[in-house]
Amino acid sequence: MIVDAPKVTLQVTDFIKSQIEKSGLKGAIVSLSGGIDSSLVLALTVEALGPERVTGVTMPERDVTPESDITDVMRLCATYDVTCDTVEITPILRVMRDALPLHNPEDRVTLGNLKARTRMLVAYHYANSLSRMVMGSSNKTELLTGYFTKYGDGGVDLMPIAGLYKTQVRQLARHLRLPESIISKPPSGGLWPGQTDEGELGITYELLDQVLYGMERGMKASGIARDLQVEVGLVEMVLNRVRSTEHKRRLPLILRLS
């Protein structure tokens, strides 16, 4: 799954530029976590629009977001000459947690989704006040497996890298010479201390992408497992996750009464 980096870069930047122009808006908002996906989206958006039309927003949580992530964001924005605001979401989360019933104190997923949706609200506050579009940083692997928060990091206007598997995102990031500290960082949504994507998914991105690649080409679980020399149960786990998260990739269903 080798990506033609120069060609894809041109396709993505043309897409961003044309969609912003069609919208009549002034530019783009990029939510920055310090991870590879949002960093790549920033680089591509600046290439498409110029730094003066791009605003970065980073939204750390006290005692959860590593200081190194904030440092990576600020260095990246300085490199691309992009203005970046920092909005700490801890006070907002405290108010929401106090106001909402918590049925299970050990339910980290629900609280994690609350963080993702809070960040979406902040991004759209900036987009509305500055007349800009919100750029999404979800990749193809995350979308197919439903590894995103519905109306959280999935609540955006454009998804410029959603046609790239995670491993292809890394290839494109190296082509654009993003910092190695960002490229090699263990992927994490930053939803709780120590959380990593691969730990939660139960599979490496390298293997996951190969399973998804086989699935998209109509292969059965047994064939994918045989080709990759892995247990068929692991492949079935991935395929079941794709099926069970289909609702996250669709608009709300409408009952047609006429």
Q: What residue spans define the domains of the chain?
A: 5-187, 202-248
Q: Which residue in 12, 85, 78 sits closest to 49, CA to CA? A: 12
**Residue 1's pLDDT band (boundaries 50, 70, 90)?**
confident
Which residues are bridge partners to 57 per DSSP? Answer: 31, 85
- pLDDT recorded at residue 105: 75
> For the chain, what is the mean pLDDT?
94
Q: What is the mean pLDDT of residues 128-156?
A: 96
Round to whole Å and give the CA distance between 190 and 145: 18
pLDDT of res. 107: 84
Mean pLDDT, residues 158-180 taken together: 97
The model's confidence at residue 191, banded by pLDDT at 50, 70 and 90, is confident
DSSP secondary-structure letter at 97?
A: H
Question: Domain 5-187 sits in which CATH superfamily?
Answer: HUPs (3.40.50.620)
Specify the pTM: 0.93
pLDDT of 195 strictly over 80: no
Which of 172, 137, 159 lies closest to 3, judged by CA? 172
Distance separating alpha carbons of residues 208 and 163, to the nearest angstrom: 15
Give the pLDDT of residue 4. Answer: 95
pLDDT given at position 108:
85
> Model confidence at 52, in pLDDT bands (50, 70, 90)?
very high
SS3 at position 30: strand
Mean pLDDT of 13-36: 97
Determine contact, residues 98/111, Cβ cutoff 8 Å.
Answer: no
Confidence of residue 244 (pLDDT cuts 50, 70, 90): very high
Q: Would you state the pLDDT for residue 230? A: 96
- pLDDT band at 170; cut points 50, 70, 90: very high
pLDDT above 80 (res 175): yes
Task: Look at phi and psi of residue 102 and say left if phi exceeds 0, alpha if psi is from -120 to 50, else beta.
Answer: beta
